[in-house]
């Protein structure tokens, strides 16, 4: 009999707000998994992230309940409430900033991090506790199922697979990491005991997936360098005593039709009208979470330099930055937001005039507003220092109507696919970024069109269904077992 596929991630597809409002979870992970959940028989286990999530979970007696997908269809969600203090240590100390900063090379090592009891205890009594809670929920869900398949996601859940493996050696465990896998020395920040526990945890999987070939090879190198394991770089395999772990890359596509549907919504059209009323001759756009990895400050500094070196563009170009505040309980993130606001004030003061504000900062998460801006940018700036994939780089070109040019950091996962048709930049090179703004704004229309068409060709060459099928295909290939879940085709 076919059994549901078990997905497990920290952030779930919905969060419940005070007053009963239900919000869709944000970010690339949620977008990817909603695609999967709507096409397969899925139970999605996630952390209860708000007090209202915890109430909803307890109203359902801790069991899975049905949730309607925005594009139709229904899937089951099980929200797991952890002890609030443990969750706070898990999310705000170990996952962010510690692991996130390691995997995006964000630590300024001569200053931070200091590893003290605060950090080691956050791992032991925070990270591990939440992983145990979610592992318990997985085990409950797969009880009685023959040969279940569990797909866990991201850097929040590295120790969970070992817990599931121990209790259910017959389960097939697959893990997808949505962020970069950094090179081995970056991991030496962690005390060796913590590092070994994390690697032991993730290596309990049968298959580990990444967005790019590069992260895959970094992971293999880490297993070799840090753990002395036998690694087959060609086949992408790590040999453990009794089993082999496959390491693969599956670049995440976007659902192009879904973005086009948002572009047609009434609310999007209203934002568009307003935008067109106020627009200058040229528009540069960025849409990001306000995350240090996104390199927002260098983006503004490059714009500052551009205006200084090309005064003929003054009053003719605006830079719209739609940034969604994120992880605001982590001091590094609140400080970053303050620095963003300060740099914007300086650039606007330096170059602005009474009726022209060079940078418009919009600190909010509004999909329709972002998509309205996607339609009309001349330049899309994606200059992340390091970024697992970056879906903005894929969404923008799908709906842009001005033959807009993409400036794309060579350190984003998306660059492995889109680099050929974008203006590639080294995200640390402010002069290069400024020159790219100039190149984009002065590029002949024919070249802009050609590049945009090239981007669209690559972006639409695979869809989220392919991403899922590639992974399920590998599960079937490695396993040799006919697991019901793998056979279940799209409805």
Which residues make up the interface to ligand F6P (CB under 6 A)? Answer: 11, 27-29, 154, 178-179, 289, 326-327, 388
| Nearest distance from C-beta of residue 403 to ligand F6P, angstroms | 28
Contacts of 271 (CB under 8 A, 6+ apart): 368, 369, 372, 373
| Nearest distance from C-beta of residue 235 to ligand F6P, angstroms | 26
| Nearest distance from C-beta of residue 116 to ligand F6P, angstroms | 23
Extended strands (E) in 372-427: 379-382, 405-409, 423-425
185: number of Cβ within 10 Å: 10
For ligand F6P, the nearest residue by Cβ is 27
Q: Which is nearer to ligand F6P, 82 or 326 (CB)?
A: 326
The position carrying tokens 């492995």 is 416
Q: Which is nearer to ligand F6P, 179 or 302 (CB)?
A: 179
Q: Which is nearer to ligand F6P, 91 or 313 (CB)?
A: 91
Return the structure tokens found at 111.
Answer: 């200053």
Alpha carbon of residue 459 to chain centroid: 17
| Nearest distance from C-beta of residue 326 to ligand F6P, angstroms | 5
Q: How far apart are the C-alpha atoms of 486 and 469, rounded to whole Å? A: 9
Query: Is the bond preceding residue 91 a cis peptide, omega within 30 degrees?
Result: no
Handedness of CA 399, 418, 213, 187 (dihedral sign): negative
Q: What share of the chain is helix, strand, coil (3-state, %, to 5)?
A: 50, 20, 30
Q: Which is nearer to ligand F6P, 45 or 430 (CB)?
A: 45
Q: How far apart are the C-alpha atoms of 482 and 467, rounded to whole Å? A: 20
| Nearest distance from C-beta of residue 315 to ligand F6P, angstroms | 35
Q: How far apart are the C-alpha atoms of 392 and 422, rounded to whole Å? A: 13
Q: Which is nearer to ligand F6P, 208 or 347 (CB)?
A: 208
Q: Which is nearer to ligand F6P, 27 or 454 (CB)?
A: 27
| Nearest distance from C-beta of residue 386 to ligand F6P, angstroms | 12
């Amino acid at each position: 009999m076919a059994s549901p596929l078990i997905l497990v991630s920290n952030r779930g597809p919905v969060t419940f707000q005070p007053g009963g409002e239900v919000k869709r979870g944000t970010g690339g992970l949620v977008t990817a998994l909603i695609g999967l959940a709507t096409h397969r028989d899925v139970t999605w286990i996630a952390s209860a992230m708000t007090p209202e999530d915890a109430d909803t979970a307890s109203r359902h007696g801790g069991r899975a309940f049905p949730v309607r997908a925005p594009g139709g269809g229904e899937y089951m969600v099980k929200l797991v409430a952890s002890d609030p203090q443990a969750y706070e240590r898990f999310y705000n100390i170990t996952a962010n900033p510690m692991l996130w900063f390691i995997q995006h090379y964000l630590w300024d090592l001569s200053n931070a991090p200091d590893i003290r009891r605060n950090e080691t205890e956050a791992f032991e009594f925070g990270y591990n506790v939440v992983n145990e809670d979610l592992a318990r929920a997985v085990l409950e869900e797969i009880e009685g199922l023959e040969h279940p398949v569990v797909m866990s996601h991201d850097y929040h859940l590295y120790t969970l697979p070992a817990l599931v493996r121990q209790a259910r050696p017959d389960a097939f465990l697959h893990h997808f990491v949505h962020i970069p896998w950094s090179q081995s020395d970056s991991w030496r920040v962690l005390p060796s005991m913590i590092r070994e526990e994390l690697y032991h945890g993730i290596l309990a999987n049968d298959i580990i997936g990444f967005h790019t070939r590069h992260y895959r090879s970094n992971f293999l190198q880490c297993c070799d360098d840090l753990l002395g394991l036998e690694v087959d770089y060609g086949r992408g395999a790590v040999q453990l005593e009794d089993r082999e772990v496959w390491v693969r890359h599956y670049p995440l596509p976007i659902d192009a039709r879904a973005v086009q549907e948002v572009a047609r919504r009434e609310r999007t059209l209203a934002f568009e009208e307003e935008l067109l009323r106020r627009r200058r001759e040229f528009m540069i756009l960025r849409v990001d979470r306000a995350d240090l990895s996104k390199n927002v400050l260098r983006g503004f500094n490059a714009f500052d330099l551009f205006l200084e070196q090309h005064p003929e563009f003054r009053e003719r170009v605006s830079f719209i930055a739609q940034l969604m505040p994120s992880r605001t309980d982590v001091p590094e993130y609140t400080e970053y937001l303050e620095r963003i606001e300060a740099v914007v004030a300086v650039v606007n003061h330096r170059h602005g005039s009474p009726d022209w504000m060079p940078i418009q900062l919009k600190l909010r998460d509004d999909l329709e507003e972002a998509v309205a801006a996607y339609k009309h940018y001349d330049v899309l700036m994606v200059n992340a220092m390091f970024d697992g994939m970056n879906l903005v780089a894929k969404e923008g070109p799908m709906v842009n109507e001005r033959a807009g040019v993409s400036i794309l950091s060579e350190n984003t996962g998306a660059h492995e696919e889109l680099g050929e048709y974008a203006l590639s930049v080294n995200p640390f090179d402010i002069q290069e970024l400024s020159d790219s703004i100039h190149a984009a704004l002065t590029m002949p229309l024919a070249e802009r069109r050609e590049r945009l068409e090239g981007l669209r060709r690559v972006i639409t060459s695979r869809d989220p269904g392919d991403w899922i099928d590639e992974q399920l295909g590998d599960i079937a290939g490695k396993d040799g077992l006919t697991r019901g879940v793998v056979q279940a085709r799209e409805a």
